[in-house]
Structure 1
């Protein structure tokens, strides 16, 4: 059956902004019916993406309020059309799930599927993702991101094991939050899909067995030949390339990979911003924030002239020189600097 995600309007707006502006140009002002959850964090991220200030506003009067009302009404009509289309697609999704059930030998159709992926480029930047499909459709409110602990770096097997352990440890807690709503981790999937080969699959299965997790089918999808590995079976299952079951697995795997990669890029971007300006003599937290606010990004500071940096709010000539030299380590002289002779 189709389910409506349990999101408040501010949560929904926050998700919408994140999804919309991941791959699209960010405008200088965004009008919303209500302020999103995590407003400060979202504005900082949007400013970083745009390279200059971005404001989020709820219009109270005038043309902007009329515009927002028109957009809201259009969205309601589009959503109604979308729900009608989804209802006609239900039979197709049911066939897809039944085909997957038969292909990998499940007792029942996998109504809830969770897929896990790892993205890393070094010991301090490993991240993991969990995406969820229910009834063949993404359930983005249940997506989760994991910052990998213990600095395991590019050991994908160990990293996958940690993510699986953290996810199912939460399930075993089996608790409820104070308002009585079930935690989204507090019930198991029918099917777990691992992005990877036999090594990643074996580690995930080992962890689940250690935790006593039963009745959860686990498979992995290897990228190279799109082979499906199943525990206890030496050879992979070859699902026909034209199969709807394989298409669903690929769709889930690709979504998990995208989600992990987005988080990895976000973490790398933050760490690069911090490391590029950290440790420069005279540049503390306040001055660092002023520089980023003035120029928009570390990239723009690096591209700025020495005179532009000197002219930035709160800068002195000595500190500007320290900033410029730190961002241009290959340079031996300041721009326009003439060595004194004699």
Structure 2
């Protein structure tokens, strides 16, 4: 799994422009874009602006706000010229995505104030394909992006949406533009970029359904791994995330995180939740490291950070962990992170807890 998203951006924009180019003889300023309040010309300009804005955010690694610039069409630009602007802005986003390092992130407010290159690619694609759908509806033009492009988007910024048989129909439903049998109509929506936490030496990267699916099937999840690859526990955890996504019950922040060493961008392990907090506010955590990363304090560092994030939430009162009695290194990780031993009825495991 080594795709940055640049090819997908380029393909999505090319497909959108090709569809709209069949209707350049119509009056775009007098034609409403589907169910939007904008006309087709305004909507196309919006798409172009989103594409170049995302390129700028990623290119300069904006950290806490939008880059303060604006974009607009020159007065008198005709329909064909408008599409050339969309093409150009799409090319800029594709180039920025391809040029960005794997760990690059830029500011975006939804929902955790940052996105990586795949997130910006997916957001740009979403703007392009959804608004082309809107414009095509107003112009009476047939349009549908490929299933692959739609799946790319869904598995990166719609982790909370249960996949359907048709990825395009699923994306339309998820964004309030269509119906799916057995699902209520969507009236409000936002996409969901992955949560990332940093410590002194590590980055904890929330695992998307795309990464989880790849890891569970024996892939690398888009990472270079210390020691050549993840351990079995990481693949099992990824499989749990993938199954939750397929069932439509994944709450992404309560899934799995890869532990990435900041000095060289090598993945050294994984840490994750067994599910969201229960009715008592208790949540269980598990972790593992690749063999060469053990004994350096990485697990303790990550456990402190992820536990602190959880306990800062109003819906969490305690973080719970279990380990085998003979697993002395794991016990020491928990104790160094501040966990204390608690009694349970399970004689096969030792239980530890950290309370806020």
Greater percentage in helix: 1
Short-chain TM bin: under 0.3
Structure whose CA Rg is larger: 1
Normalised TM-score (structure 1)? 0.26
Normalised TM-score (structure 2)? 0.25
